[in-house]
Every structure is written in structure tokens, then in C-alpha cells.
Amino acid sequence: MKIFEEIESEVQSYARSFPRVFNKAQGEYLYDTEGNQYLDFLAGAGTLNYGHNNPIFKKELLKYIESDGITHGLDLHTNAKGNFLNTFNDKILKPRNMDYMVQFTGPTGANAVETAMKLARKIKQRETIISFTNGYHGVTLGALASTGNQHHRGGAGMLLTGVDTLPYDGYMGDDIDTTAYLDKVLTDSSSGVDHPAAIIVETVQGEGGITAASFSWLQNIEKICKKHDILLIVDDIQAGCGRTGTFFSFDEVGIQPDIITMSKSLSGYGLPFAIVLFKPEHDIWKPGEHNGTFRGNNLAFVTAEAAINHYWSDDLFSKEVKRKGKYMYDRINKIIDQYGEGNFSSRGRGMFQGINCVSGELASKITKLAFKNGLMIETSGADDHVIKFLCPLTISDQNLKRGIDILEDAIETVCAKVKNFDEEVDYFDENYEVEEE
Ligand code: PMP
């Protein structure tokens, strides 16, 4: 369709990787206007953990719309919001002994992160936040200051301030404990690192390349926060809502963050929705101090409640995610052993898995060929060198296998071509080709 070239901004990104016009989706399937079917291993960049148009949520949503339920409600008290809060409290917070307040922010992940950072600064009356190498927390200015990627940072056009970036787990190699370095710079009054209000961390870095921090590293981060009177913010926007096998990605880590950000799959249906959770003693906001027109996406409250009721009332779903995650891990490692030539490696936790192909060019060739063969899968990491598996958690065993089979075939083909020093292969017919900048 020409209109996209004519008037849609150059800022598009996913549309360049998957240059098709899509018109239908169900579960783990996406369809384009030519009737081609794709297995969706991107799933709205982690927003569709329960699949496209999940029929359970759709039924609730249609019933709600049909009854003229409130759609937009600012921060007004509504039935839909009350029901979500009750369900979230009863099924998520209370069983985990989590005593947290819920703040409804603007509906993007970035706005939840802005909120968390503002609140931490306000509580501690300190300016600096510590974030980590390869961290990704969004692209509005405050959140962007805590995002590592230079391509995104460069878009700011101004100094990004108020954040110091320190090495994430494994950044200096497997043998170096970067929490020891963190503790050292916070202890040394001449380190040049100011006493921060908070540390913001992803338990598994999504955009940064599916790097999972070890539980002991995360526990050390919490200890360091306590030791130095610093708040711990866990950004669970991508790793949360079951992706790693538990509702919160830190459920089994044994830490209690002071502040938690959530978005992406929280609504379950792909509807925009974000929240920030914090301990009651930290609820020092003045009314309206952080506001936003779209804090009351009541349609999202309806589907989020349905998602929690259906998938998180017991531990069956969590067990399923762990089982499928183990299958993915085993398959991925077999693929790496077979084709990786000792260069590829696997990373991640639960159904948040990745293959580090070392080269972004190679990873891109593999994902392009996979797309041609009906699998939609993206890359992440500093050089887009990590193939990132984000399929819906609800995917059938058969389709999970089929998706990985398609990827394996693509890896086999691309690696064989690279090995044989074949000429640059153009995997797409003309219609597919998107001009590189
Ligand atoms: N934090 C994390 C961990 C994310 O993965 C993302 C989005 N990829 C964000 C924040 C920003 O969310 P949004 O794109 O909705 O602003």
C-alpha cells in the first residue's frame, strides 16, 4: 500500500523488518492482506503474552462495550477499575504477601518509568538514578537517560542527565561480580558516582539482548540498596506478566523491590495500560502531581482482570510456561551446538529466550529468511545480534515446535551460505525488499 511510503514517518521500525500489510490475528497467528499466515514470535514486543484476540478476554470486552460501560475515565473511580484492583490485590499481591499501592500512569511503559523515577527522586530528595549497561526503559527523556542504546539516546537532541550507568551482570565477563564494583563506587566518596535515589533494573534485559541476571546478582543489588539507603526499582514491563515463568519476573528471586513498573502484557489484550507499584510509606504524591489524560483505559482494566482471573488464579499457567520454556531452552541449545560453530550462545529465562548470533548481519539474515517462511521473529541487543523469542505464552506445543523448526531451517541455510562464502543472498522478491538507510 503506497500510503505508508507517502505519509508515514521514517521513524517506523518493526514495519521495516516485516514489510507486509496485516489485517487479521488470532492466538499465535498473524495474517497479511494476501492471506499469508505467520507464526508470531514477536507478539507485540511482549504485549501479547496471551495471544492475539484471546477469546476469553474478547468475550468480556464485547460484553462490557455492549453494556455501554465506561471506556475513558481519567482517574475516576469506575466499576471496571475497582474490579481490576480487587482482582489484582486478591490474586497477585496478597498471595505473595506484597503490600503495595497501585498508581495508574499514562498507558505506556515509558510513562510508568518516568513516574517511578520521579517518585524515587521525590522520596529520597536526590537527583541521580543508577541504571545498567544495555538497559532499556523507554524513550521519553527521563526514561531515555536510563536507556543504554546510543541509537535511541541520540534521538534526544539534548543532554540526558540524572542517571549514572553501571555494568550489568556479566558485562565484564562471567568471572567479574559487577555488584562488588557497584558497592565500591557507592562506598567511596571520591568515586565520582553521586549517592543515587534509586537503582532501576530489568531482571532479564529485553531490548538489551535477553540477558538474564543471576538470582544472586539481583539479591546483591537489593542488599546494596538497603546498605546505602537507595530505592530498588524493578522494571518488569517486558519480563513481567509471566514471560519468565512467574507473574513477576522476580517472584522466585526472593527480593522485594520498593517500586515496580508494569505495562505491555498487563492488559492481556494489547490495550495500552501501565501501572507503578510502591510500598505504602512511599506514597507521598500530592493529588494530580503526576497525571495524564489516559490513565483510565477502562477497556484495558476489563481485559486485565480477565487475564488475571483466567491465568493467575492458580499455578497451572506458570507451570506450563516453565515447561515450554524448558523445551525452548533445550531446542535452542541443540541448534547452537549444531550450527553455532562455537560462536553462538543462548540466553534468557522461561519463555524469554534468545540466540546470540554475535553478528547483527547474520541475525538479520536469519530472521528475514524465517519471515519469508512464515515466522515473525525479531532481533535485539546493541547490534541487533540476538534473535529474540517472544511468542505468546499460550502458544500450542505444535506451533512452538513449528516456529523453532522454521528458525532452525533458516539458521542452517544462512550458516551454510556464510560458510561457503556465497555471494550476498537476497532472500526476498522485490516486494519484500526495504531500502536500507
Ligand atoms: N521498559 C522496558 C523493560 C521495556 O521493554 C520497554 C519497551 N520495550 C519500556 C520500558 C518502554 O515501554 P513503552 O514502549 O510502552 O514506552
Q: Tens place of pLDDT for every residue, the chain, 437 residues?
A: 899 999 999 999 999 999 999 999 999 999 999 999 999 999 999 999 999 999 999 999 999 999 999 999 999 999 999 999 999 999 999 999 999 999 999 999 999 999 999 999 999 999 999 999 999 999 999 999 999 999 999 999 999 999 999 999 999 999 999 999 999 999 999 999 999 999 999 999 999 999 999 999 999 999 999 999 999 999 999 999 999 999 999 999 999 999 999 999 999 999 999 999 999 999 999 999 999 999 999 999 999 999 999 999 999 999 999 999 999 999 999 999 999 988 999 999 999 999 999 999 999 999 999 999 999 999 999 999 999 999 999 999 999 999 999 999 999 999 988 877 554 544 444 443 434 43
- Residue 407's CATH number: 3.90.1150.10
Cβ burial, residue 77 (10 Å; 0-12/13-18/19+): exposed
Is 278 within the bounds of a domain?
Answer: yes
- From the CB of 78, is ligand 1 less than 6 Å away? no
Is 328 within the bounds of a domain?
Answer: yes
Torsion region of 173: left, alpha or beta (phi above 0 gives left; psi -120 to 50 gives alpha): left
User: Tens of pLDDT along 106-132?
Assistant: 999 999 999 999 999 999 999 999 999
Three-state SS across the chain? Answer: CHHHHHHCCCCCCHHHHCCCCEEEEEECEEEECCCCEEEECCHHHHCCCCCECCHHHHHHHHHHHHCCCCCECCCCCCHHHHHHHHHHHHHHHHHHCCCCEEEECCCCHHHHHHHHHHHHHHHHCCCCEEEECCCCCCCCHHHHHCCCCHHHHHCCCCCCCCEEEECCCCCCCCCCCHHHHHHHHHHCCCCCCCCCCEEEECCEECCCCCEECCHHHHHHHHHHHHHCCCEEEEECCCCCCCCCCCCCCCCCCCCCCCEEEECHHHCCCCCCCCEEEECHHHCCCCCCCCCCCCCCEHHHHHHHHHHHHHHCCCCHHHHHHHHHHHHHHHHHHHHHHHHCCCCCEEEEECCEEEEECCCHHHHHHHHHHHHHCCEECEEECCCCCEEEECCCCCCCHHHHHHHHHHHHHHHHHHHHHHHCCCCCCCCCCCCCCCCCC
Domain count, the chain: 2
Is 431 within the bounds of a domain?
Answer: no
Is 168 within the bounds of a domain?
Answer: yes
- From the CB of 45, is ligand 1 less than 6 Å away? yes
Tell me which of 42, 117, 137, 200 to substitute to probe ligand 1's pocket, judged by most ligand atoms within 8 Å of the beta carbon: 137
d(C-alpha 428, C-alpha 3), whole Å = 22
- From the CB of 40, is ligand 1 less than 6 Å away? no
d(C-alpha 435, C-alpha 425), whole Å = 15
Bridge-based pairing state of the strands 37-40 and 204-205: unpaired
Pick the last residue of a domain from 270, 288, 311. Answer: 311
- Residue 175's CATH number: 3.40.640.10
Judge if 71 and 192 occupy the same domain. yes
Tell me which of 131, 210, 263, 388 to substitute to probe ligand 1's pocket, judged by most ligand atoms within 8 Å of the beta carbon: 263
Judge if 172 and 302 occupy the same domain. yes
Of all atoms in ligand 1, which is nearest to the CA of residue 238? 5
- From the CB of 392, is ligand 1 less than 6 Å away? no
Of all atoms in ligand 1, which is nearest to the CA of residue 140? 16
Rounded distance from Cα 142 to ligand 1 centre (Å): 13
Of all atoms in ligand 1, which is nearest to the CA of residue 236? 3
Helix pair angle (397-419, 360-372), 10° resolution: 130
Is 351 within the bounds of a domain?
Answer: yes
Rounded distance from Cα 134 to ligand 1 centre (Å): 13
The answer to whether the CB of 202 falls within 8 A of the CB of 380 is: no
Residue with CA closest to ligand 1 atom 2: 137
Other CB atoms within 10 Å distance of the CB of residue 291: 13
Tell me which of 141, 238, 249 to substitute to probe ligand 1's pocket, judged by most ligand atoms within 8 Å of the beta carbon: 238
Judge if 281 and 376 occupy the same domain. no
Judge if 7 and 151 occupy the same domain. no
The pLDDT assigned to 1 comes to 84
Judge if 234 and 336 occupy the same domain. no
- From the CB of 100, is ligand 1 less than 6 Å away? no
Judge if 292 and 371 occupy the same domain. no
- From the CB of 113, is ligand 1 less than 6 Å away? yes
Judge if 188 and 253 occupy the same domain. yes
Judge if 307 and 323 occupy the same domain. no
Of all atoms in ligand 1, which is nearest to the CA of residue 239? 3
User: Tens of pLDDT along 16-52?
Assistant: 999 999 999 999 999 999 999 999 999 999 999 999 9
φ, ψ (nearest 5 deg) of residue 392: -55, 145
Pick the last residue of a domain from 291, 311, 331. Answer: 311
Is 260 within the bounds of a domain?
Answer: yes
- From the CB of 237, is ligand 1 less than 6 Å away? yes
Judge if 66 and 117 occupy the same domain. yes
Rounded distance from Cα 366 to ligand 1 centre (Å): 25
Rounded distance from Cα 136 to ligand 1 centre (Å): 7
Judge if 158 and 304 occupy the same domain. yes
- From the CB of 136, is ligand 1 less than 6 Å away? yes
Measured between alpha carbons, how far apart are the two ends of the chain, in Å?
Answer: 20
The pLDDT assigned to 111 comes to 98
Bridge-based pairing state of the strands 163-166 and 198-201: unpaired
Rounded distance from Cα 307 to ligand 1 centre (Å): 20
Pick the last residue of a domain from 282, 311, 340. Answer: 311
- From the CB of 110, is ligand 1 less than 6 Å away? yes
- From the CB of 403, is ligand 1 less than 6 Å away? no
- From the CB of 28, is ligand 1 less than 6 Å away? no
Of all atoms in ligand 1, which is nearest to the CA of residue 263? 15
Judge if 68 and 147 occupy the same domain. yes
The pLDDT assigned to 419 comes to 73
Helix pair angle (397-419, 316-339), 10° resolution: 20
Is 64 within the bounds of a domain?
Answer: yes
Can you give the residue range of the structural domain that contains 395? 2-35+315-421
Rounded distance from Cα 70 to ligand 1 centre (Å): 27
Rounded distance from Cα 238 to ligand 1 centre (Å): 7
The pLDDT assigned to 421 comes to 57
Q: What grid cell was written down for 291?
A: 497525571
Bridge-based pairing state of the strands 198-201 and 275-278: unpaired
Judge if 288 and 379 occupy the same domain. no
Is 364 within the bounds of a domain?
Answer: yes
